[in-house]
Structure 1
Amino acid sequence: MENINTPQLGPLLQRQRKSRNLTLAQLSAVSGVSKSMLSQIERGQANPTFAVVWNLTRALKIDFADLLEGGTAPVEPSPIEIQSTAHTPEIRSDDGRCRLRILSPARMAGSTEWYEVEIQPGGILDSAPHAPGAFEHFTALTSGFEIASGGTTKDMKSGETARYPADVPHHIANKSAKIARGMLMLVYR
C-alpha cells in the first residue's frame, strides 16, 4: 500500500496568519481557538480537529481547500459571505434518519444557531436539555412533524412555527410517510 503523507497544517496556518500580520493572540480572539493550541498546531505538536481547522479558516477568511493546497491569496473582504453547499457542515443522528445542516456561522455557536432539518419517516431527533434558558423555534416546511417539550406534545402542519423551551428534554419527530423538512433556530439566553 502506498504511503500517503498527510498535509502539514501547522506551517500552512502560520503562513496564512503571518501574511495577514496577525499575532497568535489576535487569531485566537477571532477564531475562538486558544493561543496555546494555535502555537502547538503551528509547531506541529498538535493535530487539530476538523472543527478547530474550520474555525481557523473562517477567521483567516480562506477556504478549507485553499489551506490544503497551500494557497496564500486571502479572500477579498465582502459584506456578503457565501457558504457553499460543499462547505456547509452537517450532523446526522446515529441511526442516519435525521440530518441537520448547520447554517449559522461557527462564531455564533452557543448564542444563536440555525439548522436545516430533514427527518426520514419515523425518525426522531431526540435532544437532551440545552443550557438554562435555551429556546427553540422550529418552522415546518412540510407536514407531519411532532414537537415535544417539557411533557407537552403538539403536531405541526406545513408553514407552522413552534416555539418551546429547549432547556428540558425535547424532540422533533416525523410522523408522516414522507421525508419531512424544516428550519430550526436555537437561541441561548
Structure 2
Amino acid sequence: MKHAATPNVGAAMKQRRKALGLNLAQLAERSNVSRSMLSEIERGNANPTFTTLWNITQALGVSIDQLAAQSQAEGPRIERQEAIATPRLLSQDQQCELVALNPVDMASDVEWYELIVQPGGELCSEAHIHGTREHLSVIAGQARVALDGGVYTDAQVGDTLRYPADIAHRIENRGQDTLRAFLVVHKGRP
C-alpha cells in the first residue's frame, strides 16, 4: 500500500508569512505560538498539532486546507504579496507616497518602491549611508532630482536618473500631472 507524502506545511507557512511581510516574532504574537516552535515547523523539524496549526493559519489568513494544498504543490512557485500587506508611507503633507515593493528579507541591500508625487510635491531625503545610489525611472509625469550643492536634472516619461544618495537629495514634481516612478535604492556598505 502506497502512502501519500506528508505535506510540508512548514515551507508553505514560511512562504505565506513572508508574503505578508511578517517576521517570526510578529507571527508568534499573532498566533500565540512560540517563535521557536514556528521556526521548528518552518524548518520541517516539528509537526504541529491541529490546534497549533489552526492558530497559525488564522494568523496567516488562510485555511488549513489552503495551506496543505500549497504545501503539496510541486515545481516553481510564485510568491504573491497582497496589496493590504504592502507597506505604504505617506509624507506628512500627503504630497508623496512610497509603496515598498521589495521583499522584507532583501531590504538590507536593495529596496525598490513605487513613488507617487502630487504636482508641487517633493520627497526630501537626508544622506543615506556611504556608497548608496538611487535609480529613478519615470513612468508618468515629470521629475527633477536635486542634489545637495545645487546639481539637478529633469526627467520625462521613460527616463532613468542614477545618482549618489549618500548626500542630501530630493525628488520634485514640477509638472502639472502626478509623478509616478520606480525608485530603486542600492545601499552602500558602512
Q: Does the pair score TM above 0.5?
A: yes
Distance of 1:154 and 1:89 partners within structure 2:
29
Q: Report the CA distance shift for 1:89/1:65 in structure 2 as closer, same or farther (over 3 A).
A: farther
Distance of 1:163 and 1:184 partners within structure 2:
10
Q: Report the CA distance shift for 1:128/1:20 in structure 2 as closer, same or farther (over 3 A).
A: closer
Alignment-derived partner of residue 10 in structure 1: 29
What letter matches 1:97 in structure 2? Q
Query: Does 2:169 align with 1:188?
Result: no
Q: Report the CA distance shift for 1:86/1:65 in structure 2 as closer, same or farther (over 3 A).
A: farther
Alignment-derived partner of residue 35 in structure 1: none
Shift of 1:17: 5.6
Query: Does 2:172 align with 1:153?
Result: no
Alignment-derived partner of residue 59 in structure 2: 67
Whether the 8 Å contact between 1:12 and 1:70 is mirrored in structure 2 is no
Whether the 8 Å contact between 1:142 and 1:181 is mirrored in structure 2 is yes
Alignment-derived partner of residue 124 in structure 2: 126
Alignment-derived partner of residue 93 in structure 1: 91
Sequence identity (%)? 30
Structure 1 stretches lacking a partner, 5+ long: 1-7, 27-63
Instruction: Report 1 or 2 for greater relative contact order, CA contacts < 8 Å, sequence distance ≥ 6.
Output: 2
Alignment-derived partner of residue 46 in structure 2: none
Alignment-derived partner of residue 39 in structure 1: none
Bigger Rg, which one? 2
Distance of 1:65 and 1:122 partners within structure 2:
45
Structure 2 stretches lacking a partner, 5+ long: 1-26, 44-55
Distance of 1:135 and 1:176 partners within structure 2:
25
Please list, as runs of the form range in 1=range in 2, the aligned pairs for 1:18-167 lying within 5 A after superposition.
18=37, 21-22=40-41, 66-67=58-59, 73=67, 76=71, 79-151=77-149, 152-167=151-166
TM-score (norm: length of structure 2): 0.65
Whether the 8 Å contact between 1:150 and 1:165 is mirrored in structure 2 is no
What letter matches 2:33 in structure 1? Q
What letter matches 2:163 in structure 1? Y
Aligned length: 143
Q: What is the DSSP-based 3-state SS (H/G/I as helix, E as strand, rest coil) of the residue aligned with 1:167?
A: coil
Alignment-derived partner of residue 4 in structure 2: none
Shift of 1:21: 2.3
Alignment-derived partner of residue 4 in structure 1: none
What letter matches 2:59 in structure 1? L
TM-score (norm: length of structure 1): 0.65
Shift of 1:153: 0.6
Cα offsets for 1:123-163 (capped at 9, x unmatched): 00000011110000000112321111243111111100000
What letter matches 1:156 in structure 2? A
